[in-house]
Amino acid sequence: MNAHDTIVVGAGPVGLWTAAELALGGGRPLVLERAEQRSPHSKALAIHPRTIEVLAMRAQEQAFLDGGLPVPDGHFGMLPARLDFRGLATPFPFLLAHPQLRTEELLEQHALGLGVVIRRGHRVSGLSQDEQGVTLRVGGPDGEYEITADHVVGADGAGSTVRRAAGIDFPGTDSTVFGFLGDVELADPPERPGFWHNEHGALIVAPIPGGGYRVTGYAPSALTSTLESLRETAKRIAGTDFGLHSPAWLSRFGNATRLAAEYRKGRVFLAGDAAHMHFPAGGVGLNVGLQDAMNLGWKLAAVQRGRADAALLDTYHPERHPVGVALGEHTKAQTALITATTEEGQSLRRFLADLLRTHPDVATALANTVTALDVRYPGTHPLAGQRLPATREQLHLLREGRPVLLAQETGPELKDLATSADLQLHETELPWPTIAVLMRPDGHVWAAGDTAGQLANAMAELPLT
């Protein structure tokens, strides 16, 4: 028996959450991270409502809420008509401004608390797999070595070594436009966070929780990542450089958009940026990655511990790959709007902004898309695969990472069903006219029934052992 049943490559948010899910399910995961220390820079600053729900399903959300700044709305392609999150069907109807550095610290604490082993300074150089397992070639502080596990999860970013070594294609498009980013201090900050968009480009200025400001956006002339270039670009777009100084980080990013052809190849799985890359419009990348990890982690743990048939792993790609397709589509659409600096582009932006203002249902649909609250997985029952629009208390019922039965009333037949299936049964109000639902550990309906018998029949079709 291998010392570790799953090796997760990459100790970013996606890798850490995957490993935590595996450990919560009784697994023995190992995380390998090539960097010796965590990056001091925060690529991502936004945690979306669905991701806060994911954290709440493991009772981990409070530390993030305590350290973040709730923002009641968001944007689509930097259109001036904001997307109001306050009416969304979630206990967390807001975007949470939260630096990735602190996100990773909290996720690592959670993973370590569950017994996850993390090795930093260990770089994977290749892999091979057969019917018995996956063997990784690794370079560590003490030299080269090989290590074998039942499964490997590549959470090692857009340049994923795991993806390349497994022979998984990564089709898509190269960058044609570039954005700029600076984490700086401002001597003369704007009265409120906001953005500017005109013929000179697009600019966002927002405070970073913990101190400083992020100045980011797009401009055709912003060709270098220097303080002077950032000042000139800000002044051209907003009429002032806000007295920006003391940069902690200056960077550029492109709109290359790619999606892994397979999220699974044999015993190798991909999650997060290793599976999908895109322009960082709307701050969706980290969020979709954590949701990949949530979908995969409990499934791997259930199969490895004998609670589910291996067929359960076949559902990962068909459930998450379409989410990646949609991610690429709406981030490319947002890129087109952000870079629409011509006269015609400005007219398009005004037209769409007016449409969102006069058609709130369209704005709500976009908000649900950006926040991933509209994700639904395939299923035969009308409720199967739907996300439960749960209360915070209902989300906490999933904290053990196991399926649970939720029922309007817990009669003897449902109690017998729960006992025979070794499931927790909770009486709670459901948003649908059905007697009970079996909830997956990731907060989606797995089976439903108007009677205990119907529910039992639906559960019999699931890959449970």
Kindly state the tokens that stand for 200.
Answer: 């000179």
Q: Find how far residue 46's CA is from the centre of its chain.
A: 10
Q: Per residue in 249-296, pLDDT tens?
A: 999 999 999 999 999 999 999 999 999 999 999 889 999 999 999 999
pLDDT score of 1: 61
Domain ranges of the chain: 6-45+99-171+258-339, 178-254, 386-461
Q: Per residue in 81-105, pLDDT tens?
A: 999 999 999 999 999 999 999 999 9
How many CB atoms within 10 Å of residue 131? 6
**Do residues 209 and 98 lie in contact, with contact meaning Cβ atoms separated by under 8 Å?**
yes
Side-chain-side CA neighbours of 254 within 13 Å: the count stands at 11
**Do residues 10 and 156 lie in contact, with contact meaning Cβ atoms separated by under 8 Å?**
yes
Cβ partners under 8 Å of residue 363, min gap 6: 81, 83, 84, 356, 357
Phi, psi at residue 123, to the nearest 5°?
A: -105, 125
CATH number of 386-461: 3.40.30.120
Burial class (CB in 10 A: 0-12, 13-18, 19+), 439: buried
Q: Per residue in 153-201, pLDDT tens?
A: 999 999 999 999 999 999 999 999 999 999 999 999 998 888 999 999 9
CATH superfamily membership of 6-45+99-171+258-339: FAD/NAD(P)-binding domain (3.50.50.60)
Percent of the chain with pLDDT over 90: 93
How many CB atoms within 10 Å of residue 408? 16
Which fold would CATH assign to domain 178-254?
Answer: Alpha-Beta Plaits (3.30.70)
**Do residues 138 and 162 lie in contact, with contact meaning Cβ atoms separated by under 8 Å?**
no
Kindly state the tokens that stand for 331.
Answer: 């981030």
**Which residue is associated with the tokens 């492109």?**
254
Which amino acid is residue 188, in one-letter code? D
For residue 460, CA distances in Å to 63, 296, 414 come to: 39, 22, 15
Name all contacts of 419-425 with Cβ < 8 Å and 24+ positions apart. 421/459, 421/464, 424/397, 424/400
Kindly state the tokens that stand for 381.
Answer: 């029952």
pLDDT score of 85: 97
Round to whole Å and give the CA distance between 340 and 235.
19
